[in-house]
Amino acid sequence: MNDGPLIVQSDKTILLEIGHPQATEARHAIAAFAELERAPEHMHSYRLTPLGLWNARAAGLDAEQVLDTLLRYSRFPVPHPLLIDIAEIMSRYGRLRLEKDPVHGLVMRTTDFPILEEVMHAKKIAPLLGPLIDAQTVVVHSSQRGELKALLLKAGWPAEDLAGYVDGTPHPITLTAGDADAVDSTGASLGAWSLRPYQAMAVENFWAGGSGVIVLPCGAGKTIVGAAAMAVSGTTTLILVTNTVSARQWKAELLRRTSLTEAEIGEYSGAAKEVRPVTIATYQVLTTRRGGLYPHLELLNDNDWGLIIYDEVHLLPAPIFRMSADLQARRRLGLTATLVREDGREGEVFSLIGPKRYDAPWKDIEAQGYIAPADCIEVRIDLPADERMTYAMADDSQKYRLCATSESKTDVVEKLAAQHAGEQLLVIGQYIDQLDEISERLHAPLIKGETSVKRRQQLFEEFRQGIIKTLVVSKVANFSIDLPEASVAIQVSGSFGSRQEEAQRLGRLMRPKEDGRTATFYTLVARDTVDADFAAKRQRFLAEQGYAYRIIDAP
């Protein structure tokens, strides 16, 4: 019997003892194939799922390596049936392969004819297939490549897509090293720069796999990874982003880091409809409906793109998932800080965008000095007697809003802001009336949905330059906002326990500070309410990345 940090159980759960000397090493090893479920103080719980094991297989990890990890770190003997089960689940990936045939076009091949027979007789899959060529090969309708992969995944036979990609329209793009006098939008020196080792590895892994997802912490340079992939591709590129502010940040970064000029980069948003060799489009404009149709989705298909980049791929709207099924002949790169989707559609990301090709643990990037260390603090507040009674008598649908917007939280925000006077501070929340009051009390500007793009850009720029020290933001600022000098965030309310939102909000602080200081991330939580339940759920993602919350009472 080993004295390892893991307890591996036959129900596919893995317990990790946090206090064990090998805990960090073991956590990194199992993160490649197991999903964190719960993260109390002393013992974290992970689960083995088919999707997690297939992602590991697509990333080049085989069953022998997974089993070796479990056996090496497990304190007790690993149940033998579980070892067999893992090997069998992982062996399912790639037993069906999509390939290009010089005579028949797109085909699906197998070395195991009964599997092919099984899927050919599945009611939803059969219409996507053409005639059988031989006992191991069937013709696939090329327009059904994405839909077929999605259905095969649901059937438990994830196909390995080796059918290749169209080249797209050539358009040379190179990374530019810059010069010693170059500065970015904050006035900070860019100097001569090069890809960081993990960025270069992410691009290499993506390109070797053809399509897929790269997972990197906020502030670790996902945009630069996208630019480097574009340079390798050397083709026209469509970049899909969350909002117009993000589109303009992408454009500014591409102008700084690549050979692209203003004339080569187009914005396709509510404000402009420019189609150029590199086009940056917002999810919002592409999913605008008119008469039941999506008139702008044709942008995806009507141009000969060689590469499509999905920024914040974990937010991909359903219509773009459907269109992505038609884009399987084009290289697709998903970028995100977390592959967690609250709607459970990780399987669609896997089959329609591609499997996870690279995932860098936040703590590893932090240890290399590329993102700032963070101190995560949960501040527990007590509801006043009158608010407690209102909460107790409220319908379930109203309870979270009532406790999340307690007047006590606004008082605590004022005290914490005073403690951090002079620092670049963000207050982040969900409910606009609460944020309006906080904005008034702190004499700080508020960015919300109705704030114009021009005003948002102005306020973000003033915050970057230190003209504004405090900024109050709604969930519109969760994603793709570059605020390098933000060092303190106070989260007053969130989206019902969303782990992806927690990761994005902490990510607003992760860009390294010039003086090397630690970022501080406060979450205000009402004690004895659903607020505490949702907070515990949100924190699972951060626990997986190695961050621990300290809990303090409200000042």
Shared-domain flag, residues 122 and 45 = no
Q: Which residue has the tokens 């591709």?
A: 233
Q: Which of 180-184, 251-255, 417-421, 485-489 has the lowest mean pLDDT?
A: 180-184
- The whole-angstrom distance between residue 395's C-alpha and the CA centroid of its chain comes to 33
Q: How confident is the model at residue 145 (pLDDT cuts 50, 70, 90)?
A: very high
Q: In this structure, is residue 191 part of a structural domain?
A: no
At which of 31, 63, 91 does a domain end?
A: 91
* Helices 407-419, 432-442: crossing angle, 10 deg rounding: 40
pLDDT digits (tens, 9 = 90+) for 70-122: 999 999 999 999 999 999 999 999 999 999 999 999 999 998 999 999 999 99
Shared-domain flag, residues 82 and 117 = no
Shared-domain flag, residues 153 and 300 = no
Q: In this structure, is residue 237 part of a structural domain?
A: yes
Shared-domain flag, residues 114 and 130 = yes
The pLDDT score that the predictor gives to residue 461 is 86
pLDDT digits (tens, 9 = 90+) for 275-307: 999 999 998 888 888 877 878 878 877 789 999
Q: In this structure, is residue 533 part of a structural domain?
A: yes
**Smallest Cα–Cα separation from 331: which of 236, 197, 195, 199?**
236
Mean pLDDT of all residues in 403-414: 92
What is the count of structural domains for the chain? 4
- The whole-angstrom distance between residue 245's C-alpha and the CA centroid of its chain comes to 18
Q: Are 229 and 306 in contact (CB under 8 A)?
A: no
Shared-domain flag, residues 321 and 205 = yes
At which of 338, 366, 394 does a domain end?
A: 366
Q: In this structure, is residue 169 part of a structural domain?
A: no
Shared-domain flag, residues 342 and 394 = no
Q: Which residue has the tokens 């994405």?
A: 146
At which of 145, 161, 177 does a domain end?
A: 161
* CATH at residue 259: 3.40.50.300
Tokens of 55: 């992602």
Q: In this structure, is residue 171 part of a structural domain?
A: no
Domain range for 76 = 6-91
Cβ-based neighbour number of residue 312 at 10 Å: 23
Q: In this structure, is residue 468 part of a structural domain?
A: yes
Task: Kindly give the pairing relationship between strand 488-491 and strand 374-381.
Answer: unpaired
pLDDT digits (tens, 9 = 90+) for 149-161: 999 999 999 999 9
Q: Are 19 and 27 in contact (CB under 8 A)?
A: no
Q: In this structure, is residue 519 part of a structural domain?
A: yes
Q: In this structure, is residue 172 part of a structural domain?
A: no
**Residue 523 in this model has a pLDDT that exceeds 50:** yes
Shared-domain flag, residues 479 and 527 = yes
